[in-house]
A and B are shown apart, each in its own frame.
Chain A
Amino acid sequence: QVQLQESGPGLVKPSETLSLTCNVSGGSVSSTSYYWGWIRQPPGKGLEWIGILSYSESAYYNPSLKSRLTISVDTSKNQFSLKLSSVTAADTAVYYCARGIVMDRGVRRFDPWGQGTLVTVSS
Chain B
Amino acid sequence: DIQMTQSPSSVSASVGDRVTITCRASQPISSWLVWYQQKPGKAPNLLIYATSSLQSGVPSRFSGSASGTDFTLTISSLQPEDFATYYCQQANSFPLTFGGGTKVEIK
Contacts and interface: CB of A to CB of B under 8 A. Distances in A.
Bind each other? yes
A47 interface: yes
Which of B32, B44, B96 has most chain A Cβ within 10 Å? Answer: B96
Interface string B1-19: 1000000000000000000
Contact of B95 (A63, A112, A113, A115): A63
Contact of A111 (B32, B46, B50, B99): B46
B98 A48 contact: yes
B41 to A, nearest CB: 9
Chain A residues touching B, range = 20 to 34
Interface string B36-54: 1000001111100110000
B44 A113 contact: yes
A109 interface: yes
B98 A110 contact: no
Contacts of B36: 47, 110
B51 to A, nearest CB: 11
Interface residues of B, number: 25
B49 A47 contact: no
B43 A106 contact: no
B91 A47 contact: no
Interface string B91-103: 1111111111100
A108 B34 contact: yes
A64 B45 CA distance: 25
A73 B87 CA distance: 28
Interface of B: 1, 32, 34, 36, 42-46, 49-50, 55, 87, 89, 91-101
The 7 A-B pairs of least Cβ separation, nearest first, read A113-B43, A109-B49, A111-B46, A49-B96, A47-B98, A108-B91, A60-B94
